[in-house]
Structures are given as structure tokens and as C-alpha cells.
Amino acid sequence: MTTSSAPGKVYLFGEHAVVYGEPAVPCAVDRRARVTVEQRDDSRIRVEADDLSLDGFTVTYGENPDDADVNVPGDLVAAATGYVDGAVAQARDAAGVPDAGFSVTIESAIPLGAGLGSSAAVAVAGIDAATRALGVELSCGELADRAYRVEHDVQEGQASRADTFCSTMGGAVRVEGDACERLPEPPDLPFVIGYDGGTGDTGELVAGVRALRERYGFAADTVESIGDLVREGERALREGDVARLGELMDYNHGLLSALGVSARSLDAMVWAARDAGATGVKLTGAGGGGCVVALDETDATETALEYTPGCESAFRAELDAEGVRRE
């Protein structure tokens, strides 16, 4: 048995715009997906996930998805199998063992599809565990690249390298097109996360922004403005200016709202955090539902979120300097 884990992330700045070559700064947080694999003596894949933020499920499948033996509805099967299939395909390719079969167990403390990078963490930890089970150790660079290819395929080309690079490397990172780098240790960032219990469809939301950007010059300008904001945010991060970071997060949320990717539940949490005196707050990830991330060193934002209708849970998160971990 081989186990690897990888962290989820929040976007300090730059989601969506990063898809069009603007920079983004995601930060890994201390919520992890753990993937355990055991090689099988056939070429089938069995996935078990009992600790996700949805009812547990088990699915066993081989070459033909129609012969899948499942205990849950089809859309969850697609969610489960897409990233795991992709991770196994990458591991088979990296190790040169095209017909390796695996039993895969996923335990994750990252809400699914909620903007905290659950799929990237599963892809990173899954590829790492499966390649090691086949006797191959990938460098972090190759692991991040292969995990990106999984996300890119599953999301039908609508993915940046941000989530997968951040989950592999840990810490705060900067991604601009294919250029990915880890940033120096940032100041203490008092993250508070609000979760509405829902999800957004990343592919659909990215396609919506793409259509808006093609239709209106001012939407394209909005995407570019997010890029300018990220560059300003990087300066604030280097200078340890948390107040300015917060102001820029507020602005970033406004621009994401203008691009149509916020939601009533996300805006309700954003306003609750603002009213509670958060230093800054924005949605994180694709939007449409899921999570907001705030900065607040006091308890006020977390408490306010707990009492906000539509907020299912509120919790603190720490920056996680460690990326993929071999358990």
C-alpha cells in the first residue's frame, strides 16, 4: 500500500484571469486529500471514498465504464472516476506499465468542487501514490505537470496550472501561463473560510467568462484589470502589508462579480465578513457556489459567518508550507 497526501488551496488573487495568461497567487492551506493505492492483479480500478463532503461511494470499473459496479448516481461516478482515471493513466504512463490496476481509497478534508482545490489535490496525491506503487518517484516538477494534464483533460481544456502546481509545492505560489514559481514565505495570513455547502461547475463558469470576454471589450478589460490587481497584490505580499492585501481581495471579489461568477450565497458570506470587519474577503476558485476566503485575525468574521443564513460551515485555515507528502 502506498499513501500520498496533498493540500487544498485558496486563491489570494487571480482565479479566472489566470486562464487567459494573467498571473494568479494561490496559497496552499492545511486541509488535505489522502490517496492510498494498492496494486491489483487485474487491470481494473476500484475507488472508495468514504470521507468526502458528500455521501461515501464505492465504484469498481475496468476498460468499459458501462460495466461499472456502483452504489451511487452517475454524476458522482463521473466526479469520482474522472480525476482518479486521469491520475492512474498518468502513473501508468510514467512507469511504463499500461495495464496496472489499482484499488484506490480517497480520504479528503477538502470540500468537493467548492473552490478549495479538491480535484487538484486528489490528482496530485493519486499520481504520486500510484507511481510510487509502480516503483517510480517523480520530481515535483513532473508531478505538477502530470496533475495539470489530468485537470486539463477532465475540465476539457479549461484549466490553468495554478491549482495543481500549488497543491504539489505547498506555500504561496505564482502562476502566469506556463511559468510557475514558489513565492518566498508570506506574512502571517489569518485565513477564515466560509462554505455554503454547494459547488460550482468550473467548466461552465470558465466558459461563461470566456463568452463574456469575447463579446465585450470591457469584460476583456476586467480580466486584464485582475492581472494588474494581482501584480499590486504581489508587491503587498512582499512588503507584508496585510491591510493592502485585504483591500485588493475586496476589489478582486468585485471584479469576479462583474464577470458573473459570484452567487447569492457567496455574496451573503462576503457581506457578513465585511460587516464583521474582515481585513478583506472574496470568493475563491471558480465561484458559482462553494467558498469565500477572508482575512481576519480576530474571531469576528468566523462568528459572523457561522450565523449567516446559507453558510454551512466556517473555519480557520493556515497556510500549509508543505505540498505533496509521502505518508
Q: Which residue ranges make up the site for ligand PMV (CB under 6 A)?
A: 15-16, 18-19, 115, 117, 159-160, 162-163, 202, 206, 285-286
Round to whole Å and give the CA distance between 143 and 127: 7
**Residue number with CB closer to ligand PMV (14 or 92):** 14
Burial class of residue 52 in the structure, from the number of CB atoms within 10 Å of its CB (0-12 exposed, 13-18 middle, 19+ buried): buried
CB 25 within 8 A of CB 234: yes
- Sorted by sequence, the CB contacts under 8 Å of residue 67 that are 6+ apart come out as 61
Our CA dihedral for 180, 181, 185, 191, rounded to 10 degrees, sits at 0
**Residue number with CB closer to ligand PMV (144 or 286):** 286
**Residue number with CB closer to ligand PMV (2 or 265):** 265
Residue 5 C-beta: closest distance to ligand PMV, Å: 17
Question: Helix (H, G, I), strand (E, B), or coil: what is residue 238?
Answer: helix
The phi-psi region of residue 48 (left if phi > 0; otherwise alpha if psi is between -120 and 50; otherwise beta) is: beta
Residue 15 C-beta: closest distance to ligand PMV, Å: 4
Q: Nearest 5°: CA angle at 269, between 263 and 275?
A: 130
- State the CB neighbour count (10 A cutoff) for residue 256: 25
Residue 206 C-beta: closest distance to ligand PMV, Å: 5
Residue 209 C-beta: closest distance to ligand PMV, Å: 8
Round to whole Å and give the CA distance between 166 and 126: 15
The closest residue (CB) to ligand PMV is 285
Q: Which residues are designated catalytic?
A: 163
